[in-house]
Amino acid sequence: MSTQEANIEELVRQLAARLTEKGWMLATAESCTGGMIAAACTDLAGSSQWFERGFVTYSNEAKTEMLGVPAELIAKHGAVSEEVVRAMAEGAIRHSRAQVSIAVTGIAGPSGGSAEKPVGTVWVGWGLGQSIYSMPLNLQGSRARIRLETTSHILKTVLENLH
């Protein structure tokens, strides 16, 4: 197990403890990570106590159909945008029984980037009840590294914001 994977495992343990303590459930909405966050969560035994469901919405159509992200929002801002990740985080809560959501959309590479949105451009979002938050990440490295760093970063961010 790599140091990064061990870090993710520890973050999941801490997140599980915090969510269990509050009696809350988590839902994930993932694009560029393709289910890695949900997999990391469900790797922990007993995760059914706090992990409600995961949406892997890789295509724009899936974001619209499964999470209710307006197609016009994607057309106007692109799938990798603050507006879309916030709609994903909101949709994950609206389409589940969770009180907390995690959403990610980005360009993991090695291709698919542009001058405006180079490879490593990732938007992460999270929902806590009625509040939705988001932030951009500008990551470097291989596809695998970008996906692992995205997973680690959003787990840490949500954990820090669960008071």
**For 38-79, how does the pLDDT look when each residue is reduced to its tens digit (9 = 90+)?**
999 999 999 999 999 999 999 999 999 999 999 999 999 999
pLDDT at 68: 98
Q: What is the total count of domains within the chain?
A: 1
pLDDT at 5: 84
pLDDT at 1: 76
Within 80-163, residue ranges assigned H as helices are 82-94, 143-161
Write out pLDDT tens, residues 83-130. Answer: 999 999 999 999 999 999 999 999 999 999 999 999 999 999 999 989
Q: Name the pLDDT band for 6 (thresholds 50, 70, 90).
A: confident
Write the CATH number for 130.
3.90.950.20
DSSP letter at 25 equals -
Q: Please say if the pLDDT value at position 157 is more than 90.
A: yes
Q: Which residues pair with 123 in a beta bridge?
A: 105, 136
pLDDT at 4: 85
The domain of 57 spans 3-161
- Which SS3 state, helix, strand or coil, does residue 35 take? coil
Q: Name the pLDDT band for 163 (thresholds 50, 70, 90).
A: confident
Peptide bond into 110 cis (omega under 30): yes
